[in-house]
Amino acid sequence: MDREAHSDGDGHIYEYETVRRQRTTNLSQLTKLYNELEKKMISRDNKETVKNLYVKLCDRFEEFKTAHMNCLDLCPDVHVVETLEMNFDSCQKNLKEFRERFSEWINGSMENIADDEVGSRISSSSSSSSKAKLRTARANRLKAEHKLKKTEEKLKLEREKKGS
């Protein structure tokens, strides 16, 4: 590909391509973690492994979310932004559904343990962490929507100037 055709003079397109690749890589790694977790959750004997993989999944989702927000910040195409947002919404929904299944799986696993307090501690910290992450995700989403509106307004003004 010709560099001239992909550069806007400030290197924003190259930055965008870099963060878009990071976003895609993180999404791919999320999928691999989901698949690995699904396989491990077949047996209750894998409880510790599943818990560790779940932590990795949550961390990877945060990395994906950061890459997604960076991608939105640099994306030059409003239609691509819409597609990225729909994809991100789907990813959030998948994570939420998986968290529910994970909680049920862990709670079912904890029933086999005599110490009920352990389950309470895990559930409580997981719930608090999930709520904090949800608040952060909502705040980031609002920021992204605001930035999108500003970008759309800017593009509209530029089109009007060119039309005059």
Tens of pLDDT along the chain (164 residues) come to 332 334 445 567 789 999 999 999 999 999 999 999 999 999 999 999 999 999 999 999 999 999 999 999 998 888 999 999 999 999 999 999 999 999 999 988 665 554 444 554 555 556 666 666 666 666 567 666 667 777 777 788 888 888 76
For residue 112, which amino acid is it? N
Residue 154 pLDDT: 79
* Six token digits for residue 132: 């904090």
Question: How many Cα atoms within 13 Å fall on the side-chain side of residue 33?
Answer: 23
Identify the helix (H) or strand (E) that includes residue 93: helix 78-110
Residue 140 pLDDT: 66
Residue 57 pLDDT: 97
Concatenated DSSP letters of 24-47? HHHHHHHHHHHHHHHHHTT-GGGH
Residue 52 pLDDT: 97
